[in-house]
Structure 1
Amino acid sequence: MSRALLAILLLGAALPFPSGAASPAGGFDLFASDDGDDTSVLRTNLTAYYRYDHPGQYRGLAVERARIRPLGTDGWSENRVYFRFADAAGDWKWNGQIGSNGHTLLGNASIVRDIPRRQEYFIEREVVETRQGEQGLHATFAGAAIDLPLDAEQRRQLTLLAGMQTFTGDNVRAHLRATYSAQLVREWGLSAQLRTRAFHSSHPGEADYYSPRWFAEAIPMLRLRRFHQGWMMAAGAGVGMQRDSNSDARAARLVEATIESPKTPRHWYLRANGTYSNTPVGEGINYGYRQINVQLIRPF
């Protein structure tokens, strides 16, 4: 067992338990994706929550099996172990998972201040899912986001995000993102968005992941969000433009859907979402990236 993995297990044992009545729970997570370059990723995760209050307050240990197949090759598989946590105090909420594949630290964490001008601070570290990822190519992304209400009724909002991403090697990527949201029909849960994003790489083309000098994208979207008996259902779609330093402007497409069960302490919890996008990822300009995430928790 690596030193990093041992430290994770000790951290899980040392952190205080959440307040209130809690019980054990079991969880299952699935992540699957593929793209136009025939790259596929499958991650399955089993979690034993030794303290579980609700989906926003828990402690647990997870084991994960990751299967990564870049460009239709056999790729590689690896086992991972994570300590998972979530809790809150006053206006602040935090969650994350910290773990290892036996070679390096992996995971993510975020801290949110849940006020009208909502703030989020985050960091994540993951294997780059290309052929060089098997040789230890990793990326670490850290940043902050803020929601800025534009009227007293909070019908219009601007969300700003800035972050820095470092890769194994010398490349450092600066990210800027902005999303403008406006409610169109409150009773329907219908809203319009304009999502923009851009990044700049200090050492373009350094490794085998998609890395032009710069990339920019803007996508107008329509979103529908409804509630029924505590269940939340949301869907959105948009078409815009994208461009990078190596090619001309081209169409950008995004479709996403989410379903989430009520967040109750003693019942099953389900969250699932799917995304289709042609934003470039992996080793090239992929005109078709699909992914699905499923999380299922059962309190005992």
Structure 2
Amino acid sequence: MNGVRYFSTLCVALGIAAIALPSQAFAQSTENGAEEPASKPAAGTELLVSTDSEGTKVSKLAGRALWSFNGKDDYAGIVVERAWFTPVAGEKQKFNRVYLDVANKLDDGWRWRARVGTDGKTVLGSAELRRADWSRSVFIEREIIETEQGLNRRIYYTFIGASTDIPVDQNSSLALTAGVQEFSGKNERLHLRGRFVQVLNEEVGLSAQMDLRYYHSTEPKEFDYFSPANFVRAMPILQLRRFNAGWMYLAAGGLGVQRSTGSSWQPARFAQLRIESPRSSKKIDAFVELAYSNDSIVGGLNYDHLQGRAGFTVAF
């Protein structure tokens, strides 16, 4: 599998789509037969900050300029990002990145989005094709490894996967995800995930979940990132999701167990808070999120990792 090749092909396809998109999205007929813009230009900013118990820090600040914005699922523009990486060992490094940022729909049932660009060395970013109801999706993402060797030796990963939801009954479902993660070097990692969701109170927005994750690495411990031969995690999760005037408020937390090759069973912890603007809004796209877990690709098990993200985009 060649992640760079897949991403290069994707960039060409998205470039053609981005050129064609505005001509279709900007014009719609009015009652008197004239045409008026269906989409507006927009601008915004995004921030990501993360840290862990060993002292590794990552900061990313991005400016977003869209020539076409018609809501969360319909836009086209560019993103310019400055990323700062401070690994637990080694010097702080800075990277400038530029991305093509596009999203649209194939028909009433399917949506696609992509943020694909470069740091001057290779292709980076992510892309996704999904059902409008989120029941099925395929995705790809590419990023650098945030360790000392990862930054100095330019070690990247490319992750390709797919997911599907299987309804069990009116109040429960099973979500399955499978993917392959290719790293610079020889290592390839098979990912499997299953999440059973049981709605406890639909009116309140409360659900109970059982999240199971497993991965296998073909070349364990190849570089300095966490890469055991096998990793497994089982975690019960409680999630509360409420809507108010279209805004989404989510709180989730879980406590379970995890184990990797050569270690005993250890506690696994997870927590998430997220606020998101209405999906139907054609004027703003805003979110703020805080997430915590104690497993990390940088340090492994019981390696506390805290990440905060926020973004705000407004149409003119």
AA at the equivalent of 1:28: T
Listed as ranges, the gaps of 5+ residues in structure 1 are none
Distance (whole Å) between structure 1 residues aligned to residue 75 and residue 40 of structure 2: 9
TM-score, normalised by the number of residues in structure 2: 0.88
Counterpart pick for 2:128 among 85, 104, 110: 110
Counterpart pick for 2:196 among 162, 180, 185: 180
- 2:31 aligned with 1:15: no
AA at the equivalent of 1:144: A
AA at the equivalent of 1:138: Y
Contact 1:238-1:254 within 8 A present in 2 as well: yes
Q: Deviations over 1:244-295 (max 9, x none)?
A: 0021000000000110112344533211111110023214434310001112
Q: Deviations over 1:193-226 (max 9, x none)?
A: 0111010000000011000000000110111111
Distance (whole Å) between structure 2 residues aligned to residue 78 and residue 9 of structure 1: 23
Report the CA distance between 1:9 and its aligned residue.
9.5
Mapping for residues 1-300 of structure 1, pairs under 5 Å: 11=16, 14-17=19-22, 18-19=24-25, 20=28, 21-71=38-88, 73-88=90-105, 89-114=107-132, 118-134=135-151, 135-151=153-169, 153=170, 155-300=171-316
| Aligned twin of 2:5 | none
Distance (whole Å) between structure 2 residues aligned to residue 148 and residue 210 of structure 1: 32
Report the CA distance between 1:149 and its aligned residue.
0.7
Contact 2:237-2:254 within 8 A present in 1 as well: yes
The alpha-carbon distance between structure 1 residues 215 and 30, as it changes in their structure 2 partners (threshold 3 A), is same
Distance (whole Å) between structure 1 residues aligned to residue 18 and residue 274 of structure 2: 34
The alpha-carbon distance between structure 1 residues 164 and 112, as it changes in their structure 2 partners (threshold 3 A), is same
Distance (whole Å) between structure 1 residues aligned to residue 244 and residue 199 of structure 2: 19
The alpha-carbon distance between structure 1 residues 12 and 31, as it changes in their structure 2 partners (threshold 3 A), is farther
Q: Deviations over 1:140-184 (max 9, x none)?
A: 000100001111x2x101000000000000001000001000000
Distance (whole Å) between structure 1 residues aligned to residue 166 and residue 216 of structure 2: 25
The alpha-carbon distance between structure 1 residues 206 and 232, as it changes in their structure 2 partners (threshold 3 A), is same
AA at the equivalent of 1:120: S
The alpha-carbon distance between structure 1 residues 286 and 40, as it changes in their structure 2 partners (threshold 3 A), is farther
Contact 2:255-2:270 within 8 A present in 1 as well: yes
Residue 150 of structure 2 aligns to a residue whose secondary structure is helix
Distance (whole Å) between structure 1 residues aligned to residue 160 and residue 239 of structure 2: 27
Residue 15 of structure 1 aligns to a residue whose secondary structure is helix
The alpha-carbon distance between structure 1 residues 298 and 94, as it changes in their structure 2 partners (threshold 3 A), is same
Contact 2:294-2:305 within 8 A present in 1 as well: yes
Distance (whole Å) between structure 1 residues aligned to residue 163 and residue 12 of structure 2: 29
AA at the equivalent of 1:229: A
Listed as ranges, the gaps of 5+ residues in structure 2 are 1-7, 29-37
AA at the equivalent of 1:119: R
Q: Deviations over 1:82-119 (max 9, x none)?
A: 00011112211000101000000001000002358x21
Contact 1:38-1:72 within 8 A present in 2 as well: no
Contact 1:8-1:99 within 8 A present in 2 as well: no
AA at the equivalent of 2:167: P
TM-score, normalised by the number of residues in structure 1: 0.93
